[in-house]
């Protein structure tokens, strides 16, 4: 896609050059040749700096790392074991769904993106800073979002997401995964965000480490399996899948004196999240020891796709999770 855009750009440039340079005059031809060579070299450099053609970010809402390790989640656990993983990554504060996902997908903290509310409020419009979808689109890449909550519409900058899917009336993980599986081959997104709401729903209702939440995580793992198979069936072999969460959780007593789950604080149980990279170029069976913060997912994604990181980014790519070959600059 990026190369198509570059070829189109080169064709336009060639036509533009013809207005000013006489191609029948040998020095003119030489000059035009030099310019076109430079353009071609820059487009090849962009393609070479791309480490993956597709990045899939999968977020488990309220996905506490300890509970993920204790639950029946064979797909997640196998991907963590086969790939690079940290069970001690951090989210931002406030550890709330919309603020945290905005950091995950803009590369900055909440002080910079200012999405400080946590429900869908259409009057507040969309995030003021570019999302990674916007930055990827500017490089001619294809983007998609499959989500389980309407509030992600606050991240929909105009023209930034080719397909925004919030399945209705059922927006559970299996429904999201089936929608993804039905469309991935057609869409072939270079950047795709997928969100599973189920553990958050059950966690709030029954408690942060309740059997009901474990069952929700089991469903998410089935959904993850569907997504992983769909990517393989679509033959998107040059892909990286990142598994992470917006925040963890803790228990509170609700008005009836019953245990319920909550989050939002800077306490360890709320801010520690899992982070797994799996796929093309990812180190095998590797425990990441470098600190990972929520906005590093945005930076890692752009770095993998060969999209330059904006200077204002707080996030840094988690380079230690990937094999760096001689041809690929660090
Ligand atoms: Zn959440
Ligand atoms: Zn929640």
Question: Could you tell me if residue 326 is inside a domain?
Answer: no
Number of domains, the chain: 2
CA distance 147 to 153: 10
Question: Could you tell me if residue 298 is inside a domain?
Answer: yes
In this structure, the answer to whether residues 19 and 95 fall within a common structural domain is no
Question: Could you tell me if residue 1 is inside a domain?
Answer: no
Separation of CA 326 and ligand 2 centre (Å): 44
CA distance 172 to 233: 23
In this structure, the answer to whether residues 190 and 284 fall within a common structural domain is yes
Tens digits of per-residue pLDDT, 54-74? 999 999 999 999 999 999 999
Separation of CA 115 and ligand 2 centre (Å): 16
The pLDDT, as a whole number, for residue 3 is 37
CA distance 228 to 205: 29
In this structure, the answer to whether residues 26 and 167 fall within a common structural domain is no
CA distance 173 to 313: 30
CA distance 46 to 267: 41
Question: Could you tell me if residue 255 is inside a domain?
Answer: yes
- Mark the residues whose beta carbon lies below 5 A from ion ligand 2: 200
Cβ within 8 Å of residue 199, ≥6 positions away: 60, 61, 62, 63, 67, 213, 216, 217, 220
In this structure, the answer to whether residues 212 and 279 fall within a common structural domain is yes
Tens digits of per-residue pLDDT, 30-49? 555 555 554 444 444 555 58
Question: Could you tell me if residue 329 is inside a domain?
Answer: no
Separation of CA 273 and ligand 1 centre (Å): 11
In this structure, the answer to whether residues 23 and 119 fall within a common structural domain is no
> pLDDT exceeding 90 applies to what percent of the chain?
82
């Amino acid at each position: 896609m990026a190369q198509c855009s570059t070829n189109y750009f080169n064709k336009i440039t060639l036509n533009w050059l013809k207005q000013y340079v006489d191609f029948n005059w040998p020095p003119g031809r030489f000059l035009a040749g030099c310019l076109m060579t430079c353009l071609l070299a820059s487009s090849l450099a962009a393609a070479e700096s791309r480490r993956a053609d597709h990045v899939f970010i999968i977020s488990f809402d309220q996905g506490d790392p300890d509970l993920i390790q204790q639950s029946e989640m064979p797909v997640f656990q196998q991907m963590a074991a086969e790939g690079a993983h940290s069970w001690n990554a951090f989210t931002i504060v406030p550890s709330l769904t919309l603020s945290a996902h905005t950091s995950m997908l803009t590369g900055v903290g909440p002080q910079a993106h200012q999405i400080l509310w946590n429900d869908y409020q259409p009057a507040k419009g969309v995030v003021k800073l570019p999302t990674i979808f916007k930055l990827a689109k500017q490089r001619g890449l294809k983007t998609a979002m499959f989500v389980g909550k309407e509030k992600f519409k606050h991240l929909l900058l105009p023209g930034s997401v080719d397909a925004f899917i919030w399945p209705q009336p059922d927006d559970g993980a299996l429904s999201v995964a089936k929608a993804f599986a039905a469309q991935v081959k057609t869409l072939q997104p270079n950047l795709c965000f997928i969100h599973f709401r189920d553990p958050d729903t059950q966690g709030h209702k029954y408690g942060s480490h309740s059997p009901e939440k474990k069952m929700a995580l089991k469903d998410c793992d089935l959904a993850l399996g569907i997504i992983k198979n769909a990517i393989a069936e679509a033959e998107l072999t040059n892909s990286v899948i990142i598994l992470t969460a917006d925040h963890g959780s803790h228990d509170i007593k609700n008005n009836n004196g019953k245990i319920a789950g909550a989050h939002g604080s800077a306490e360890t149980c709320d801010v520690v999240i899992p982070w797994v990279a799996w796929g093309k170029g990812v180190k095998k069976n590797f425990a990441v020891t470098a600190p990972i913060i929520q906005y590093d997912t945005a930076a890692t994604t752009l770095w993998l796709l060969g999209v330059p990181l904006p200077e204002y980014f707080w996030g840094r790519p988690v380079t230690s999770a990937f094999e760096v070959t001689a041809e690929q600059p660090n």
